[in-house]
Amino acid sequence: MAFHSKRRPPGGKLGSGIRSIRKRLDLNQGEFADKLGWPRNTLVQYELHKIMPSTGRLFRLLQESTEEREKAPIVAALEAQGINLADLSAIAGSYTHSAQQGLEVQP
């Protein structure tokens, strides 16, 4: 189970960004949660700006985002957790390498 911070996401834009990704994909909350492998209730709490996703889940959302307006609040939330873009690149490389090796990677 992933750790979720009770802190609210910075600036209040993260929930809107998550919703924007979901709507662009034309998915309801249940479908998007299933696609991400998350409980629907957790996704709802993220969208309503109730809790902050873990670093791994933010990274997973970043993978789903294609537009700059979607990426910006996710990157801001990662930076608020002390992850800079250089660290993010290292995480992405590790995640991709592990996935290619068939290792289980927990978002």
More reliable by pLDDT, 13 or 39: 39
> Is position 16 within any domain?
yes
Residue 107 lies in a domain: no
Q: Give me the CATH number covering residue 64.
A: 1.10.260
pTM of this prediction?
0.69
Count of domains observed in the chain: 1
Residue 14 lies in a domain: yes
Give the domain range for residue 20.
Answer: 10-100
Is 60 inside a domain boundary?
A: yes
Q: Tokens for 55?
A: 């670093």
* 54 contacts 40 by C-beta, under 8 angstroms: no
> What is the SS3 assignment for 73-87?
HHHHHHHHCCCCHHH
- The 10s digit of each residue's pLDDT in 17-38 is 999 999 999 999 999 999 999 9
pLDDT tens digits, one per residue of 67-107: 888 888 888 888 888 887 676 666 666 554 444 444 444 44
Q: Which residues 6+ apart lie within 8 Å of 15 measured at CB?
A: 9, 46, 47, 48, 49
